[in-house]
Chains A and B, each alone.
Chain A
Amino acid sequence: MNVLVCIKQVPDNSVVPKLDPNTNRVVTEGVELMESPFDLNAVEAGLKLVEENGGEVSVLTLGGESAKTSLRYGLSMGAAKAYLLKDPAFEESDSWGTSYGLAKAIQSIGNFDVILCGKQAIDNDAGQVGPGIAEQLGISQITYVSEIVSVTEDTLTAKRVSPAGEEVVEAKLPVVLTCEKSLNEPRYPTLKRTRMANRAEIPEMDCAAVGADPAKVGKNSPSAIKKLYTPAPRQSGELIQGEAEEIAKIAVQKLVEQKII
Chain B
Amino acid sequence: MEFKYTEDQIALRRAVREWAQSYLAPKAEEIDVNNRFPTETIKALGEQDLMGLAYPEELGGAGYDAISEAIAMEEISAACASTGSIITGHYLGFDALYLAGTPEQKEKWLRPALEGEKYAAFCLTEPAGGSDMTSNKTTAVEDGDYYVINGVKHFITGGAHCDFLCCFAITNKEDPKHGMTCFVVEKDTPGMKIASEDNKMGIRGARTAEIVFEDCRVPKENMVGELNGGYRLALDVVDRGRIGIAAMAVGIGQAALDLAIKYAKEREVFKRPISKFQGIQWMLADAATQLEAARMLTYYAADLKEQGVPFTKQAAMAKLFAAEASHKVVDTALQIHGGYGYMKEYAIERIYRDQRITELFEGTSQVQKIVIAGQLLH
Binding site for B on A (CB under 8 A): 72-73, 76, 188-192, 194-195, 197-198
Contacts of B8 in A (CB 8 A): 194-195, 198
Contacts of B49 in A (CB 8 A): 190-192
B2-14 to A contact mask, C-beta < 8 Å, 1/0: 0000011001100
Are A194 and B47 also in contact (CB < 8 A) when A188-B18, A188-B22 are? no
B45-61 to A contact mask, C-beta < 8 Å, 1/0: 00111100100010000
18 additional contacts (CB under 8 A) given A191-B72, A195-B63, A198-B7: A73-B11, A188-B19, A188-B22, A190-B15, A190-B48, A190-B49, A191-B12, A191-B16, A191-B48, A191-B50, A191-B53, A191-B62, A192-B49, A192-B63, A194-B15, A195-B8, A195-B12, A197-B11
Verify A188–B15 contact, CB threshold 8 A: yes
- From DSSP, what is the main secondary structure of chain A's interface residues? helix
Contacts of B15 in A (CB 8 A): 76, 188-191, 194
List the A residue with the shortest CB-CB distance to B44: A188
What is the CA–CA distance of A73 and B63 in the complex, to the nearest angstrom? Answer: 18
Residue B64, interface by CB 8 Å: yes
What is the CA–CA distance of A130 and B295 in the complex, to the nearest angstrom? Answer: 44
Quote the shortest CB–CB distance from B50 to chain A (angstroms).
7
- From DSSP, what is the main secondary structure of chain B's interface residues? helix
What is the CA–CA distance of A73 and B15 in the complex, to the nearest angstrom? Answer: 9
**Most B CB atoms within 10 A — which of A72, A76, A191, A195?**
A191
Contacts of B18 in A (CB 8 A): 188
Contacts of B72 in A (CB 8 A): 191
What is the CA–CA distance of A198 and B68 in the complex, to the nearest angstrom? Answer: 14
**Most A CB atoms within 10 A — which of B18, B48, B72?**
B48
**Most A CB atoms within 10 A — which of B23, B50, B62?**
B62
Quote the shortest CB–CB distance from A241 to chain B (angstroms).
23
Quote the shortest CB–CB distance from A30 to chain B (angstroms).
16
Contacts of B64 in A (CB 8 A): 191, 195
13 A–B pairs (Cβ distance < 8 Å), ordered by A:
A188-B15, A188-B18, A188-B19, A189-B15, A190-B49, A191-B12, A191-B48, A191-B64, A192-B57, A194-B11, A194-B12, A194-B15, A195-B8
List the B residue with the shortest CB-CB distance to A193: B49
Top 8 A-B pairs ranked by shortest CB distance? Answer: A191-B49, A188-B19, A192-B49, A191-B62, A198-B7, A189-B15, A190-B49, A192-B62
